[in-house]
Amino acid sequence: MIKKHLIPCTVILTLLVMAKVFAYKLPEVKTSLKKDNNTTIKKEAEEPAFTLAQLEFADENLPSGDARINGKMKRILASYAYQNLQTNRLHRKAAEWFPIIEPILAAYGIPNDFKYMPLVESGLQSGTSPKGASGYWQFMPGTARTYGLKVNGNVDERQNLRKSTIAACKYIKELYGIFDSWTLVAAAYNVGDVHMKRQINKQNQDNYFKMKLNRETGGYVYKLISMKEILENPARNGYRSQKALIAYTESQPTTVE
């Protein structure tokens, strides 16, 4: 009789022990899964560290491993930092100008990065240069007329964004036919094709970044790259949030022709 009662009791005790063991194990599994999920989320949220190797203009990168070039890029990019260059106005101009400039560049087969050129040429200052260059693309009167713009006492189409962009595209396309490099094209736009060809022949060098040029032209493409970087990545360059920039931009009047 006692044996008959012992067998069920033993079975019940065994089941209770097993239940306690599994109940104890379950929180460990749950904790482990939670830890793994957190780790996965953290890894997905991490972004690769920014390096100068990421910077380029029209798919032409800075030569790697050159301390002089890297130092120059860092200095010019730093000069565009928020504390040195307030860019709310530049973001507003980009929002106004780019929708007009971008399709024209595409129609002429010119890299989209050239849209930053008017911001470097005239976005940081307005008016006519001491040499007579004026407008969004800072055309000299003679060059403007060569590429189809009217410049006289009654009208100055250098001040018309659409027409001056078309003229600039014609000029840029012509320069590319000469230099076959978009960075050299940008430099030649700044200094003139004759001077640029002379320097290429004199230095026996056709890599813009490795050439020795005057101060303005030698830093020109670096400025374009910096302008591109601060407008495309405002957060990592110390500017107000993208949401704030959009709100500011939408609150401003559009005055582009």
More confident position, 6 or 190: 190
Could you tell me if residue 257 is inside a domain? no
- Average pLDDT rounded to a whole number, residues 4-31: 50
Asked whether residue 26 falls in the same domain as residue 147, the answer is: no
Model confidence at 48, pLDDT cuts 50, 70, 90, reads low
pLDDT at residue number 79:
86
Query: What residues pair up with 156 in beta bridges, in sequence order?
Result: 151
Asked whether residue 6 falls in the same domain as residue 23, the answer is: yes
What's the mean pLDDT when you consider all of the chain?
81
pLDDT at residue number 257:
58
Could you tell me if residue 84 is inside a domain? yes
Q: Which residue has the tokens 């002089």?
A: 68
Model confidence at 227, pLDDT cuts 50, 70, 90, reads very high
pLDDT higher than threshold 90 for residue 141: yes
Query: What is the DSSP annotation of 23-73?
Result: HHHHHHHHHHHHHHHHHHHHHHH--PPP-GGG-EETTEEPPTT-HHHHHHH
pLDDT at residue number 64:
87
Query: What is the DSSP annotation of 203-214?
Result: HT---GGGS---
How many other C-beta atoms lie within 10 A of the C-beta of residue 178?
A: 14
Single pTM value for the model: 0.74
Of these ranges, 34-48, 58-72, 128-142, 176-190, the one predicted with the greatest mean pLDDT is 176-190
Share of the chain above pLDDT 70, in %: 70
Asked whether residue 16 falls in the same domain as residue 98, the answer is: no
Asked whether residue 26 falls in the same domain as residue 61, the answer is: no
Asked whether residue 88 falls in the same domain as residue 142, the answer is: yes
Could you tell me if residue 215 is inside a domain? yes
Asked whether residue 39 falls in the same domain as residue 61, the answer is: no
pLDDT at residue number 44:
45
Write out the two tokens for 5: 């009662």
Q: Which CATH number covers residue 99?
A: 1.10.530.10
How many other C-beta atoms lie within 10 A of the C-beta of residue 231?
A: 21
Model confidence at 29, pLDDT cuts 50, 70, 90, reads very low
pLDDT higher than threshold 60 for residue 61: yes
Q: Which domain holds residue 220?
A: 52-250
Could you tell me if residue 23 is inside a domain? yes
pLDDT higher than threshold 90 for residue 72: yes
pLDDT at residue number 40:
46
